[in-house]
A and B are shown apart, each in its own frame.
Chain A
Amino acid sequence: MAEQKSQSRGQAIRKLVERTIQRNINGVAYFVSSDPPVGLTPKDVVHKRGTLSLFHYKPQTDEIYRTPILIVAPTTNRSYCLDMMPGVSFVEYFVRAGYDVYLMDWQPPQPEEKTLDLADYSQRFIAECIDIIRRISGEDEVSLMGYCMGGVLASIYTASYDAQHVRNLICFTTPVDFNEMDMFNKITDKRHFDVDRLVDNVGNIPPSFVLSGFESLEPAGKAASRLQLWEKMWDSQFVETFRKYDRWANDMLPLAGEYFRDTVKDLMWDNKLMDGTLVLDGRSADLATIKVPFFHAVAEHDSIIRRPASAPLINKVSSKDKTEIVLKGGHVSIVAGGNAVKRLWPVLDDWLSERSV
């Protein structure tokens, strides 16, 4: 018994020493190596104009579904969260499942693009990309997908263009009731926040401002993740994955000035998308006019788009064919985590495949 005890103690000490050595090796590598590669699924850039790039992922199957997918990335973050690494890449999954996948990627808007507004992002750019896809694919309709703010843009397009060339609408953690946006509301409180003065003075909103908004949602999040990293520094695979997600979380995009002004005034202050009173470029964007097949995936523990903010969307759209799926996990895990690979993507694949022929 005593021998067994001393043996297990010996094993524990050996493990501790091994982990300490590995932690030091990984720790040095963490600080000296460059950013890990992301967005590796083979693709072509088929259209580029200022802040907007349209990616076309190369098909990897002998035959593909008839209806192409157009993904609208969120305007606050880099689109590589949808193609983080092989095996847990949303884009790779759907390319391998036989879909023809396109993605609207956002680059930092240049100072001269400060005049781009919500109508440009939600109507003009999406319409332009759909036209290009129709030309390339020879198909008349696409399945429009949007993640987070990308979902808002996709919904506004579908509502304001009467679902022109949109066969299916798929949203991930998409806010609709902006009164429920918690800390974002407090940061942009109408009583203190002078959005006009800010936009007039700085033009495009710097990423540091956007990042501070996200960080205020989880004040201890950064410190906790650093502690977790230290604890698991011995695990090389964890460190590599952590670096990719950490890179993405801190790699925020600036926002075009007028787009930010519209978002704050129309969506945050007046909650026009929720009320059905949003009008952009003379087109009404009432979600109740959406009648195409609709799929909404939300995360149960999403601290960025909280459930009360995204929950009303399913009831707002008038589609007869509509599905909502609530997944355990947070905002990012819905498009880039093991849970999504096993539980969400196969469900979406089943749903979409039947509506893509």
Chain B
Amino acid sequence: MADKKPKDNQAISIKALEERIKTIGRAVLGNEGFGKVMNSAVTTRSRVQRGFSDQMARQLHFYNMPSQDDVIRLSEQCARIEERVVRIETAILQLTNPSTAQSGPPRTRRPKKAKSTATQPKRTRSAKKE
């Protein structure tokens, strides 16, 4: 008991603190002004990132090296080829053997309720006499 009381008090204090921060946090984060500032910060960051990336691409092209956009274009081509391969693979499998079910346990399992009703005791017990 002596051990439990301070622990409970500690838990209560943490919870109360959490609630207070949560209330303040939600008031701040949910504020329209905050949303405005945060979104302009995100937009600015993304624009800076984009500008930096464009600058870097120009430098890389100057040295005859592929930029990130070039690599992305190549990867997109690979993805398109991969997609076509998947489609061809599916078509071939369907043509060669439409039902290619792999071996595994039989799909014969019955629901528990159906099983359990069979093993349930009979409901014939009568009340004990006093």
Residues of chain A touching chain B, judged by Cβ–Cβ distance below 8 Å, are 8, 12, 15, 49-50, 59, 61-66, 98, 100, 110-113, 115, 128, 131, 135-139, 183, 186-187, 189, 191-194, 197-198, 201-202, 209, 216, 218-221, 223-224, 227-228, 231, 349-350, 353-354, 356-357
Contact = CB atoms under 8 A, between A and B. Distances in A.
Nearest to A114: B72
Contacts of A98: 109
28 contacts: A12-B3, A49-B86, A59-B105, A63-B105, A98-B109, A100-B104, A111-B71, A112-B78, A131-B90, A136-B102, A137-B102, A186-B29, A192-B40, A197-B46, A197-B47, A198-B42, A198-B46, A201-B50, A202-B50, A209-B42, A219-B29, A223-B21, A224-B14, A228-B14, A231-B10, A353-B112, A353-B113, A354-B113
Interface string B29-60: 11010011011101100110110000000000
Q: Interface on chain B toward A: helix, strand, loop, or mixed SS?
A: helix
A202 B46 contact: yes
Given A135-B100, A209-B42, A219 B109 contact: no
**Is chain A's binding surface mostly helix, strand, loop or mixed?**
helix
A218 B22 contact: yes
A192 B30 CA distance: 13
Given A202-B50, A219-B22, A354-B113, A64 B2 contact: no
A231 B100 CA distance: 56
Nearest to A202: B46
Nearest to B86: A49
Contacts of B25: 216, 219-220
A61 B112 CA distance: 14
B110 interface: yes
Contacts of B42: 198, 209
A189 to B, nearest CB: 5
A354 B79 contact: no
Contacts of B22: 218-221
Contacts of B38: 187
B102 A63 contact: no
B77 to A, nearest CB: 9
A302 to B, nearest CB: 15
A125 to B, nearest CB: 11
B121 interface: no
A73 B72 CA distance: 26
Nearest to B46: A201
Contact of B111 (A111, A139, A209, A354): A354
B68 A111 contact: yes
A65 B109 contact: yes
A201 B51 CA distance: 9
B103 to A, nearest CB: 10
A353 B39 contact: no
B17 interface: yes
B86 A220 contact: no
A112 B82 CA distance: 13
Interface in B80-126: 82-83, 86, 90, 93, 99-102, 104-113
Nearest to B115: A353
A65 B61 CA distance: 58
Given A61-B105, A198-B43, A183 B14 contact: no
A233 to B, nearest CB: 14
Contacts of B106: 63-64
Most buried by A among B28, B32, B111, B112: B111
A67 B18 CA distance: 45
Given A135-B93, A193-B39, A201-B43, 19 more contacts: A15-B3, A49-B83, A63-B108, A98-B109, A112-B73, A112-B75, A136-B102, A186-B30, A197-B46, A198-B42, A201-B46, A201-B49, A218-B22, A220-B17, A220-B18, A224-B15, A227-B14, A231-B10, A350-B111
